Structure 1
């Protein structure tokens, strides 16, 4: 274990500007007076989040099919893809009970998210793993024997860092994907945990669907991961994620219609 471990990242002026703009956009978001509408918004965004995160991993189910599964209806689709949606719904139901800095919570989240899909659900991988783009290996993760040590270091850093949560969550996300601690499900877990870190800072992030925007910019997402690895600095990934967060917050803010009196 390395008590002084600090992931390599630098803060650019663009990142500082994005943090300011996100904070300003969050300030404009107000609590909806109509509780029913607020609950409906949460439901819609939860469906978009699950659909976006699984679509990035190749799940072909539509938002309508995800909604049907949420409502307990039967869906004609590949059993594995239906199981992925059911697992994701179960995981997000537990979202509010997990703590970002608790390693045991991350393992529990993976167990729920990957139940019935992999043999090692809820356990760190025991073998080597690489990230593929078509037939090309674009990233070889650290050896399995080092995963527990690297994850302890990463959680210790997260618990102790004074970095802004927008930066800390993005750094954690990148480092998590670099380590690739699980045999499968690393992408959806990394995105889930960044959302959890952000929601512990500002509860609005529990109901904001960043996943759908990442899905729309999937190529840039992987490009930012690769650029950060090449530079040994997660700055490119931080900047990408902050742009996605800004766009999501800006489009999630309720629109205010001017009141006109006779």
Structure 2
């Protein structure tokens, strides 16, 4: 008698179905927007936001400005480990489209990239028991190390053959990787990376959607969802949380929420081809009046969320530059 294929425990709830439909509608509206192709610099900016948020969830203290500086080869004040984490995460996310989410070997390769120089056995399954601590509390005891290979193979077999929606499968994988804890360290960031990979293979738009930023901003609820999933013995609470986070992240890309722009703001948006300072922008627009540029062009664009500062905590910095946001890219 053949054994029944493994299925991780979760329930597809009416709320999940509702969120999947809403997310699908949002993606459809975004896809139909004119000039939706995402420029390389915008994708890089979102990738940096994703990296900073995902590492911050794991305790990395570097802010967005510092992470950007690290990736530009600049010196910053930060621990060697935190800086190495940034380089590693960027390498992993830069390779994400090369991996197949159904291949266990690719999971190990991704972990090797993510944890290079940070863990002795990076890219290899753990050989000892491990528990998950938050503050001084043990919140989860992972399955015995000897069971990890079989658990992972069963899980990836389910991922390959399950007829469920990618939005649900990606979230289930996120939880299961956290639950199994196949590696000694880096399981949380790998789980989030794999969720992005699964969704990106479905809709490439997800490669540039910084869902991790939303998770970081709702970190308490994120941990509560993980805890509730552990208590229930199924990933349902975390799946619902992650679908809500994706829905929230998509709002910033949905054309319906993009403010109407004045002709001056539209001209500014179209003039921004990369990160540019005030002088470069005025030259691109053939403007000489600094006050008029600020009042009619720059400030309205910043207020509308179409343009953002590269150094938001120091608005008057001599090194200040400006770049398009996701909303701004929709007007190009």
Q: TM-score range by the shorter chain?
A: over 0.9
- Once the two structures are overlaid, the 10-residue window that deviates more, 231-240 or 106-115, is 231-240
1:73 counterpart residue number: 74
Partners of 1:5 and 1:50 in 2: how far apart? 32
Q: Is the 8 A contact 1:32 1:38 kept in 2?
A: no
Match of 2:320 in 1: none
Q: Structure 1 stretches of 5 or more lacking a match?
A: none
What is the aligned-residue RMSD (CA, Å)? 1.7
Mapping of residues 97-136 of structure 1, within 5 Å: 97-136=98-137
How far apart, in 1, do the equivalents of 2:217 and 2:160 lie? 32
Length, aligned pairs only: 258
Give the whole-Å Cα distance in 1 for the aligned partners of 2:60 and 2:261.
41
CA offset at residue 258 of structure 1? 6.9
Contact kept? 1:3, 1:153, Cα under 8 Å: no
Matched with 1:253 is 254
What's the TM-score, normalizing by structure 2?
A: 0.75
Higher relative contact order (CA 8 A, sep 6+): 1
Query: Equivalents in 1 of 2:111, 2:79: separation in Å?
Result: 21
CA contact (8 A) 2:30 2:36 kept: no
SS at match of 1:241: helix
**Unaligned stretches of 5+ in structure 2?**
264-332
Hey, which bits of structure 1, 4+ residues long, moved more than 2 A? 30-35, 252-260
Q: CA deviation at 1:3?
A: 5.9
Give the Cα–Cα distance (whole angstroms) in 1 for the partners of residues 88 and 106 of structure 2: 16
Partner of 2:186: 185
Q: 2:13, 2:153 → 1: CA distance?
A: 28
C-alpha change, 1:118 and 1:215, in structure 2 (3 Å) is same
**8 Å contact kept, 2:196–2:206:** yes
Structure 2 matches for 1:47-62, cutoff 5 A? 47-62=48-63
Q: Given the superposition, is the C-alpha separation of residues 89 and 32 from structure 1 closer, same or farther in structure 2, using an over 3 Å criterion?
A: farther
SS of the aligned residue for 1:138 comes to: strand
Establish whether residue 196 from structure 1 lines up as the match of residue 204 from structure 2: no
- Which structure's CA Rg is the greater one? 2
